[in-house]
């Protein structure tokens, strides 16, 4: 790895969790593409004039890329790009108090009753789109003519005010003669539209009222982002160019049955949609190490050396006491994220700025940082708040549960715990989640990427957690997703939850998206290489404790194992193929078998 000369201090831009902490004006395009971009479509968004909308979940870098595009535009079009500081208008400073204005509720607020009438929904989205168009044209005129001086957020402030107008008043504003005569080229950048909706209402409402308002507020949250995209596409003034960022969760729900008005196919040419896989996030992680070390981007072959040098480790691995094996450091860190770029940068920041030179055992220190409560809050707590999850403040609802909750659960385990949470007696009927109005704890965990399911993959079974760009129902309550969960045999609790609310580890299986789960079959098992054992190998290897998976006594698969063994031994047909000595040995081993019990451990 050879150090690069640079026009800016790269060390200062490593491990930045917030885009606002990165000075995009001082970074050249080449340096930005080398260190901050791992997807070609992002480069297209920054470079191409016609790419106007970047769509992604929270924590994917939308603000950073939008700011970089604005910074480039201010260099090329200094007198036509707004705001003039080369950054973006910011919606978080102009939240909409949606329950206070009756005119607003009549014309724009989408209630549960409205959802039963598609034309009514379409009409309200059309109203919101018109509010955006009127705001954009007005702001463009004001920016160019310096109305209001150097103030920024002119589009957003105007939009907020326009929502207090009736549909007729909006139409009149759109046809204003002064604005109609405006024909000067300009470029406007707008960020954080998703943060304009005020969710502060809920502390004043009962559970039933909150449920009703949740639906309406969520629909409006979706509608202002959809309408923003439609307004950009349908602006009557083609010399006004608007660029912005919207949340994946809003647009991913749209289809012909959901909003007839929104034809997303017309918008695709304007959009750049972001998704990241594990390899992408690994590149982001090593790019930040390179930034921090002041060296060139790190190749695949240089990763081991970089880890050792950067962290002062003897080897580029973490010893995992649960599986008694070394685990690649990045894999260990990645398992303790919600699979977003922001999470891996957050962990890297915590390690870099809390590790002191005098700390001898760097490996244990890294484990300690990963399991800190403050990191848990910034990754899980803040995310649940961002997505408006019903789990906010209730993630520890199981603190008083009468026994530990293991990290691998069956559907029966989920039902039992859910009954306890909702105080449903053993003899009471328990509806399917899709027909139930109770608190759907595990549905919410699944939708937030905190509960995994099984996934069969070419002769092996792996664990599947919802990645951020796959979490389409996180803001809708999640009632529609449980029927998918019920088809799965086992469920996996995310490592971020261990040690909280009586969650604990009990197997020698690592839990994480894409990690292996060793499925047990009735007359055989499959190993991690996908090879199926015959009955003789199954008995001898399992009962001699050579098989990699050891289950807790209280875990239902352990009981299944015993039942399976009994079925095998009691089968006269199978006895024909097993030596008598082996049968005796199996019975002897069965009587002596002890299953190790694991409690919460820092190695999980």
DSSP 150-168: T---HHHHHHHHHTTS-HH
Q: What is the predicted pLDDT for the residue at 423?
A: 83
Residues 130 and 236 sit within 8 Å (Cβ to Cβ): no
Does 396 map to a domain? Answer: no
Q: 174-183, 198-207, 348-357, 591-600: which has the minimum mean pLDDT?
A: 591-600
Does 30 map to a domain? Answer: no
Does 462 lie in the same domain as 416? yes
3-state secondary structure of 603: coil
Rounded CA separation 191/228 (Å): 11
Does 510 lie in the same domain as 540? no
Alpha helices in 544-579 (DSSP H): 556-570, 572-575
Q: Which residues of 259-281 are buried (b: 16+ CB within 10 A; e: fewer)?
A: bebbebeebeebbbebbbeeeeb
Does 354 lie in the same domain as 286? yes
pLDDT class of 575 with cuts at 50, 70, 90:
low
Does 434 lie in the same domain as 350? no
Does 206 map to a domain? Answer: yes
Does 157 map to a domain? Answer: yes
Q: What is the predicted pLDDT for the residue at 430?
A: 67
Does 395 map to a domain? Answer: no
Query: In which element (H, E) is residue 186 found?
Result: strand 186-191
Does 27 map to a domain? Answer: no
Does 139 lie in the same domain as 241? yes
pTM: 0.80
Does 137 lie in the same domain as 199? yes
Does 231 lie in the same domain as 211? yes
Domain containing residue 505: 401-516
Q: 24-38, 164-178, 432-446, 481-495: which has the minimum mean pLDDT?
A: 481-495
pLDDT at residue 492 is higher than 80: yes
Closest of 528, 531, 462 to residue 492, by C-alpha: 462
The number of distinct structural domains making up the chain is 4
Does 563 lie in the same domain as 544? yes
Closest of 145, 140, 138, 141 to residue 170, by C-alpha: 138
Q: What is the predicted pLDDT for the residue at 314?
A: 87
Does 14 map to a domain? Answer: no
Does 308 lie in the same domain as 169? no
Q: Tally Cβ neighbours within 10 Å of residue 573.
A: 6
pLDDT at residue 531 is higher than 50: no
Rounded CA separation 477/207 (Å): 13
Q: What is the predicted pLDDT for the residue at 488?
A: 62
Domain boundary among 353, 384, 415: 384
Q: What is the predicted pLDDT for the residue at 471?
A: 65
Does 466 lie in the same domain as 405? yes
Does 527 lie in the same domain as 481? no
Rounded CA separation 564/556 (Å): 12
Residue 373 or residue 319, greater confidence: 319
* pLDDT tens for each residue of 336-391: 999 999 999 999 999 988 776 556 788 888 988 888 888 888 899 888 877 767 78
Does 337 map to a domain? Answer: yes
Query: In which element (H, E) is residue 230 found?
Result: helix 207-234
- The mean of the pLDDT values for the chain is 75
Domain boundary among 273, 293, 327: 273
% of the chain beyond a pLDDT of 70: 70
For 186, counting Cβ atoms within 10 Å of its Cβ (0-12 exposed, 13-18 middle, 19+ buried), the class is: buried
Domain boundary among 255, 273, 291: 273
pLDDT at residue 155 is higher than 90: yes
pLDDT at residue 68 is higher than 80: yes
CA 435 to chain centre: 26
Does 209 lie in the same domain as 81? yes
């Amino acid at each position: 790895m050879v150090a690069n000369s640079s026009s800016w201090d790269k060390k200062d831009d490593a491990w930045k969790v917030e885009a606002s902490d990165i000075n995009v004006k001082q970074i050249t395009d080449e340096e930005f593409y080398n260190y901050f971009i791992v997807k070609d479509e992002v480069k297209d968004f920054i470079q191409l004039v016609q790419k106007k909308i970047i769509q992604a979940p929270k924590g994917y870098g939308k603000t950073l890329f939008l700011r970089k595009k604005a910074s480039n535009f201010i260099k090329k079009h200094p007198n036509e790009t707004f705001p003039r500081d080369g950054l973006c208008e910011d919606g978080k400073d102009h939240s909409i108090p949606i329950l206070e204005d009756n005119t607003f509720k009549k014309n724009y607020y989408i209630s549960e009753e409205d959802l039963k009438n598609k034309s009514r929904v379409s009409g309200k989205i059309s109203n919101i789109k018109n509010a955006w168009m009127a705001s954009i044209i007005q702001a463009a005129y004001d920016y160019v003519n310096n109305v209001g001086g150097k103030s920024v957020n002119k589009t957003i402030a105007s939009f907020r005010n326009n929502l207090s107008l009736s549909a007729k008043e909006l139409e009149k504003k759109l046809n204003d003669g002064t604005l109609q005569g405006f024909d000067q080229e300009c470029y406007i950048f707008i960020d954080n539209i998703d943060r304009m909706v005020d969710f502060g209402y809920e502390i004043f409402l009962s559970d039933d009222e909150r449920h009703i308002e949740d639906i309406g507020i969520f629909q409006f949250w979706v509608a202002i982002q959809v309408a923003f995209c439609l307004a950009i596409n349908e602006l009557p003034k083609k010399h006004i160019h608007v660029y912005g960022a919207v949340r994946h969760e809003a647009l991913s729900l749209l289809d012909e049955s959901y909003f007839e008005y929104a034809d997303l196919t017309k918008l695709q040419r304007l959009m750049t949609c972001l998704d990241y896989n594990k390899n992408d996030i690994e590149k982001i992680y090593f790019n930040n190490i390179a930034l921090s070390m002041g060296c060139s981007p790190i190749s695949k072959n240089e990763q081991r050396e970089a880890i050792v040098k950067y962290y002062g480790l003897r080897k580029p691995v973490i010893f995992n006491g649960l599986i008694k094996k070394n685990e690649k450091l990045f894999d260990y860190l990645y398992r303790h994220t919600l699979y977003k770029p922001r999470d891996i940068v957050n962990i890297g920041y915590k390690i870099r700025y809390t590790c002191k030179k005098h700390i001898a055992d760097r490996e244990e220190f890294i484990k300690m940082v990963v399991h800190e409560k403050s990191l848990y809050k910034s990754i899980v707590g803040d995310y649940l708040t961002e997505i408006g999850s019903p789990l906010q403040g209730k993630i520890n609802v199981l603190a008083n549960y009468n026994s530990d909750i293991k990290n691998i659960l069956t559907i029966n385990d989920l039902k039992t715990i859910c009954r306890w949470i909702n105080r449903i007696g053993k003899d009471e009927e328990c509806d399917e989640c899709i027909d139930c109005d109770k608190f759907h704890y595990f549905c919410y965990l699944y939708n937030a990427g905190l509960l995994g399911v099984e996934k069969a993959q070419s002769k092996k079974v792996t664990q599947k957690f919802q990645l951020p760009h796959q979490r389409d129902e996180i803001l809708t309550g999640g009632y529609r997703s449980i029927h998918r969960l019920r088809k799965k045999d086992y469920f996996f609790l995310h490592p971020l939850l261990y040690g909280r609310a009586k969650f604990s580890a009990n197997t020698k299986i690592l839990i994480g998206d894409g990690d292996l789960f060793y499925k047990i079959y009735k007359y055989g098992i499959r190993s991690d290489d996908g090879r199926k054992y015959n009955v003789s190998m199954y008995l001898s290897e399992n009962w001699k404790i050579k098989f990699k998976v050891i289950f807790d006594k209280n875990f239902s698969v352990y009981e299944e194992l015993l039942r399976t063994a009994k079925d095998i031994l009691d089968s006269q047909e199978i006895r024909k193929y097993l030596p008598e000595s082996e049968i005796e040995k199996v019975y002897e081993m069965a009587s002596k078998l002890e299953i190790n019990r694991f409690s919460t451990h820092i190695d999980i």
